[in-house]
Every structure is written in structure tokens, then in C-alpha cells.
Amino acid sequence: MDPILLFHSLIMGLVEGVTEFLPISSTGHLILTGDLLNFLSKEKRDVYEIFIQLGAMLAVVWEYRAKIGKTLAGAGKAGGERNLLLGIIVAFIPAAILGKLFSEHIKAVLFNPIAVSIAFIVGGLIILWAEKRQHTVTIETVDDLSLKDALKVGFCQCLALIPGTSRSGATIIGGMFLGLSRKAATEFSFFLGIPTLGAASLYSLLKHRHVLDSADIGIFAVGFISSFIFAFFAIRALIKFISTHTFIVFAWYRIAFGLIVLATWQFGWVNWAA
């Protein structure tokens, strides 16, 4: 096994784990990092990037295992637990349908560093707008989220089909627009990521299994484990951060990062794939 390739896989897993649940787009960062590292062939890298999301998803499951267990145990009776479970299912449906219908076309057209950098900038401006407007909280906890509002958050998640938009950013900021508290919007985004990332990863593996072989096991395993570890710490850090801060720092990061990519492309400083 090539140690350089394994090291690159470790870096890709780190990028996925740190960025998956922050409103800065894990897909966008993976595209840019993968291009810089010249990591794997494009078809194999596409499968790899989706697969290692499973590691990040499992970090949520582990961190919220008590809440998830309580929710599943209470699914058979009326109350907040059943309400949350149904809300996750309802919110998952729009992205599942639209992803199935349009994801391949979107990948062919928009999965490149320039399109991603533009999405970074636009997303940053939207976060600034969301944070500058008055935020009236009507939903304090995820258990209080109605099915109607959960469906609206689900449609917000569909924006993340555009690479660079950020699934977490779309659902968190969308949730805040709908009246969720920062903590409720963030936690619902975490929970919604479980079926979304899980289904996307398994579907991609089954559909593109022909491009994989036994030599890929080590590379995929390193990325998966790295993603799990760094996502675990990123989740805890984000929950602690939003208790005393807004998302404005992520907005400025997105804008600055997008401008840097555009500048390096324009002046030929980095040979970004296009």
C-alpha cells in the first residue's frame, strides 16, 4: 500500500470530518483538496468522497446515542420522540427524490472548483444576511419541530445538491429562518444527516462498485476512520461554539475562501481542474 496515498486519504478524511457539520461545505472542500492532492481517479474519488461521509455520520450517532435511543424507544407513542423521528423522515424525502433525479446532471455541470468557489461566496452572503436580520425563535428544541416545518427544512437541504452550498449550512440557516433556535437548527441538521449521508453513501457504493477493487480497502478505511474521529470533535466544538457565538465567522470564511480560489485560478497560481 502506497504510504503517500494513505496519507492523502487521512487528509481527505480530516477535511470531511471537520467540514461536514459546519456551514462551509464538506463537498466543496473535498473537491478542492482532492484536486490539489491529485487524489485517485475522478470516478473513484467521487465514490470515496461519499463513502467517507459514513464516518462523519457515525460520529453523530455516537455523540447522540442516548438521544437517538430515547427517540427510537418512544416512537410507538405520541410525544416529542415520535415527532422528531417523523420529522427526520419527512425532511429526508425531498433531497432523496431530487437527488435521485438530478444529482448526476449536477455533478457533470457543477462539480468543479470555480463553480464551488462561487457557491462558497453566495452562501457566505446568505449567512451574513440571515444573521443580520432579526431572529425570532418560535421553536426551542428539536422535539418541538412540526412536520410542516421539518418538510420546509428538508426542502432547504435540497440546495446542498449544488456543490459548495453546504448541507449543514442550508439546513441550519434554513431552520433559523423558520424560527428554530441555533441549537435546535444545528441538532436537527445533525440528525437529518444520518439518513441523508447514510443513504447517499450506500447508494453510491452499490451503483459504482465496479470501479472498486480489494486494493482500495485500506485507502477507504483510513478515510472513514479519519472522518469519524475529526467529525466527533467538530460536532462537540460546534455545539459549544454556537452557545455564545453566531455563524458570521463561517460566512466570512466562506467568502474569503471562495475569493482566494477565484484569484488563484484567474492568475494561474494554482492549476485548479475546471
Residue 222 lies in a domain: yes
Residue 273 lies in a domain: no
Domain assignment of residue 44, given as a range: 3-267
At residue 136's C-alpha, the angle toward residues 134 and 137, to 5°, is 145
At residue 174's C-alpha, the angle toward residues 67 and 94, to 5°, is 80
Q: What is the pTM of this model?
A: 0.88
Residue 45 lies in a domain: yes
Give yes or no for residue 247 having a pLDDT over 60.
Answer: yes
Report the candidate in 115, 126, 192, 103 with the shortest Cα–Cα distance to residue 154.
192
Residue 274 lies in a domain: no
How many CB atoms lie under 10 A from the CB of residue 7?
Answer: 12
Residue 99 lies in a domain: yes
What are the tens digits of pLDDT across the range 1-56? 789 999 999 999 999 999 999 999 888 889 889 988 989 888 888 889 989 999 99
Give the chain's mean pLDDT.
90
The DSSP letter of residue 270 is S
- What integer pLDDT is reported at residue 59 of this predicted model? 96
Three-class SS of residue 139?
strand
Give yes or no for residue 274 having a pLDDT over 70.
Answer: no
> How many helices (DSSP H) and strands (DSSP E) are in the chain?
12, 0
- What integer pLDDT is reported at residue 271 of this predicted model? 67
Residue 272 lies in a domain: no
Give the integer Cα–Cα distance in Å for 127 and 170: 9
- What integer pLDDT is reported at residue 43 of this predicted model? 83
Domain count, the chain: 1
The mean-pLDDT minimum among 21-30, 81-90, 151-160 falls in: 21-30
Query: 102 falls in which pLDDT band (50, 70, 90)?
Result: confident
Q: Cβ neighbours of residue 144 under 8 Å, at least 6 residues apart?
A: 80, 83, 184
Mean pLDDT within 95-117: 83
